Each structure stands twice: as structure tokens, then as C-alpha cells.
A and B are shown apart, each in its own frame.
Chain A
């Protein structure tokens, strides 16, 4: 196995949150299996899109990869090094290489700091700890050039977050994430809160930055069209697991998992003629609770193609084509 072929290699990642009952005597009433055995790999310069419904575990995966949430099990190999196994000191230094951009640009920015200070903050912290060597003047000029690169005029440097629009705040969040020159950017719904016209500005910016800095992306969204536009590969997540993964074009043209098919068919298309003629797969029910342990395939209750075998055991990801993996009994026994 060649480890360095991938910048990020996630293996058997699990995050289970304990559910506690009782006020005085807390006892464990079970677990929320937010992430329940996730594997994926990203090559340098690639963008992997993680898509799935609310609560399926996308953000928890992102937090666990970024080591902002301790995994219950599994490995997160960045350039061959397991982040989950690092000492707190080693981890702090390693953070230079991976940064996270959040969905809500407002709540993720300190309201009392000026834009340039927000962007410069990671540099200041790392300089103070002696991980990087930069003086104040260098830090300031780096922050300003990042602002410029992210489409924020220099006159905005002394403004506070509330004085910016949503799109501008997201630009600040992106500039801050890039300050330390990371190799991996984990973007958790970076455009979901934005209007379409602003969304396309930010998507274009991220694409340009990806090229200029040879960035690798773990990109999370619930909008398949956004993912398909931005990412070279897609992983579809359902209830804490990846159910299908392939190139973006393959997912679009040849989806195999019934859930992927349903997602694709439910995504509204901005084309009235296509909308009238398409056959929609309407799923029944809600996303089931991740706190119930599932015997069999977790998608079974909502699956239009469920078979008897699906109740007996859970399918695992299996290759069905070049770089295409599906976890479904329709394509062979588990």
C-alpha cells in the first residue's frame, strides 16, 4: 500500500456520542452513531465532496478529520501521519497543514475583532508559539495580501464582522483558513448560507485558490449540483456511513445506490421542461435516528428497492467499476 499517494486517508472513522439519561445519577442510555465506520482517501490537489441529508454525519466527520472532535475509532492519516495519534503539542504544530472553513460565516468570526486581525490571528498564535517565524509587520502584510487575494478591499481591514455581508464574511473566513498555508482545506457547507449570485462568487474564488495554492479539499454540501461543480470525486453519506463513492461525472450519469438515485432525482433542476418530464423518486419517511442500532441496511425502511436480504445484514462498500464503490446488496452479496 502506498500511503503517500493520498494526502488524506481516513480509515474506519467512528464518532459515537454517548446519550445520558437521569439527572443525578447519569447512566448511559446508548449512543448516537453520528459517524459509523467511514473510509475515504483524497489525492493531493483533488476535491472530494461529501453529500447527504441533514444529520447524516457530515459535520461530525469534518470535525473528526480536523481533530476538533475526538474520534471513537479509526485513523486520520494526513500525508501518512495519523493525526489521531499525535500528542497535543505535535497536533498543534500539525494544524498548520489543515484548516477548516465553516458554514455560518457570522458565528464563526469573533465580533470584537477587526477583519485584518481575524485573518492574522492564526499567524500571531503560531508565531508566538515559535512554530513559524514572522514579525508583526510581516503578519500584517500577509493578512492584507490575503484579503486582496480573497476579493476584500484593503479599506475593509479595520471593519468589524457585523459591517460585512454574508459573502464578505465568508471571504474573511476563507482568508483566515489560508493564512498558515494549509495543504488540506476542510470546507463545511461554505456556500450553503449564501444567495446564488454570491455563492457563485465564492465557488469561483475557492476554485481559483485551489489552483493557485494546489489545495486539497474535503468539501461538504447538501446541494449535489454545488458538489458536482466543485469536486472531482463524490462520497454520498447516509446515516453515518458512505454508501457510494465515485467520480463526479459517474455519480451524475450512473448512480447505483438507491439513495444516490433518490437524491439526484429530488434535486430541483432549473429547467421547466425537464422538471415536467422527469420521474421523481419520492422517498417515504424521515431520515432515521442514528441512535438506534440498525440490523441490516440502514436505508432499508426508505428504500424503494429493498429486498429480504437487506434486513439480515449491513452491506459494505464494494468496487463496482473504476474508482466506483457502492454499499448495496443489489450489486452482489455483502
Chain B
């Protein structure tokens, strides 16, 4: 294990039992997060990004959910084997999460500043007055206009974008070791998004905070991340340093995603590339590559067995799950 490693997820599988069958939402996911690193998790809707990170924090509701296997090592301690209480403390103190849906994660009957102040009190052990002052300062920092006056507002009086920024303020005010941000800016305008991402970036640089950034926007990934995991159908199909991923995508799915984006920065082709078909149903997945039915480079073997994870470099920084690449390596 790397010296610098702060969080290591190994073979994580999470499933939901539904009326239609067992949904394998996350299926054997492994990744490592180093101190100060920003790791992007990209993938289309339903690919398992949120469930992966909710599993890491042990926030999967059971039933219907169950973490079927795997380990989550935070500074060497397995969160999946730890007690409920230990995990709760870690969540407040060491790992913060910004949820995808800000409205449901704020308390509607508490003033905005009170909620931020509570998070600060909990973490820094400050008095109420000081905590409130810090909360207001934090609101200013995240660009809430007229912060002093708006501190006494309730969540419903804030716009969606402002609520999202309050969530971010709460997460940041705890100086966490790890920040998990699930689509933190998806609901926001680009100019506001730029403000928020800048904020997360500078905080991460200042405090050496490690960040897991979940998004489906490859542009955001390009600007924010050091390393990227591409998820498809509950699996990480490609993992790479950010420059490599954009320069030489190894998985046909990654390639397809990159070719599908309209580009403002260069004139592209008359027609965009589009990956045919739609994502698979996660119930009763066959033992095959889940991308095979949509893949332009599909081979016989792809429909007969799921490809193993193959390292593309010595240090194992680049991996891919694709028969095109595992055919080349002989040790499989």
C-alpha cells in the first residue's frame, strides 16, 4: 500500500433487492485515494457513482441495500468492519460528503447559519457565538450575497444554487481529510460552478484535502482531477491519470464518451459521434463485458466472459477492463 494512501477501496460490491430482482449497483469496485489527490468518478446516470460513495460512508439503506463484499480502508482502518459509532465520528470529523440533492440534506426548520455553525461547533469545539461568526464568514467565502442578513434565512428561502453552496460550506468548514462531492455543481449555472470549483480546488491545495469528485461532466473532470475512474454498469472500466485519459482513452466506452461531447473550443465534425443503444439493466447481468452490446469493437470473447482488470503501465496507475487490452497481456 502506498505511503500516501488515505482511502483504499477494495472489491466493493453493493446490491439492492427489488421486485424485479437483485440490482448489482456496484460490482467489484477498487480504487485508491492519495493525500491531496483529487479523484474524479465519471459515468452515466445509473452507473453506480453515488452508490459507490454512499457505500464508502456506510450510508446505504438496508433493506433494500446490502454491501455484499469488499473493504474500505481509511488510514488503514476498515470502515466496513468498524462499529456504527466509529463510522459516525469519522463522517463528522474526517470524511465529509456533499450530497447530490441539497434540498433533502438540509434541515428545513433550522436557520441556514445555525446548520453551518453546528457543523463547525461539532468539529472545532467553538462556542456558539464564535461558531456563528465563522458560519457567516464561510457564507461570504462561498459567495452568498449579503451574508450577514441572509444568515437567519431558512433553506427554502435560498435558491437551489445557494443551498448547494451552503452544503459545500458545511462540508468545508470541518477541514476534512477527505471530501466526497457528489455532483456538487450539476444544478448550478456555469459561472457559479466556476466559483465553487475554484473554492474546492483552493481548499484542497491549502489543506492537502483529498477529494472524490463525482460528475458526469468530462469538462469538470479535465479541470479538477488528478486521476479519473470511468464507471459503467457498476464497474470501473478505466482508471488513469487525467492527461492520459483524455489523450489516449483505452476503453472504447471512454473513447465514445469523449467523442460524444460537443466541443466549444474547436470546430468538430458535422455530426457528433454517438454510442448506439442505452446502458444495460443491472439485473441478471450475464458474465460478459457489460458494454459489449454497444461496443463498436466487440469481439467474440466479449460476450462470453467479463474482462479482468488489466494494468497498462508498470506502476498500475492505468488500468482498463477490456478484452482488447487483456488479450495483449499474457499473464491473464
Contacts and interface: CB of A to CB of B under 8 A. Distances in A.
B159 interface: yes
Given A207-B271, A222-B189, A268 B45 contact: no
Given A53-B189, A269-B219, A226 B274 contact: no
B264 to A, nearest CB: 4
A254 interface: no
A280 B262 contact: no
Contacts of A199: 260
Interface stretch (B25-33, B108-116, B193-201, B305-313): B193-201
Interface in B136-189: 143, 145, 159, 161-162, 189
Given A197-B257, A204-B272, A280-B198, A268 B191 contact: no
B317 to A, nearest CB: 15
A267 interface: yes
Contacts of B242: 272
Interface string B18-45: 0000000000000000000000000011
Given A229-B272, A269-B223, A287-B189, A197 B256 contact: yes
Given A268-B219, A285-B143, A225 B264 contact: yes
B104 interface: no
A266 B191 contact: yes
Contacts of B265: 269, 271, 274
A203 B264 CA distance: 15
Interface in A209-235: 222-226, 228-230
Contacts of A322: none
A28 interface: no
A263 interface: yes
Interface residues of B, number: 44
Contacts, number: 130
State which size class the interface on A falls in. Answer: 35 or more
Contacts of A200: 260-262, 272-275
B159 A196 contact: no
B262 A228 contact: yes
25 contacts: A53-B189, A165-B278, A196-B216, A197-B274, A198-B278, A200-B262, A200-B275, A201-B275, A224-B264, A225-B262, A226-B262, A228-B262, A229-B262, A230-B262, A252-B264, A263-B191, A268-B222, A270-B218, A270-B222, A272-B242, A274-B222, A275-B223, A282-B191, A286-B143, A286-B162
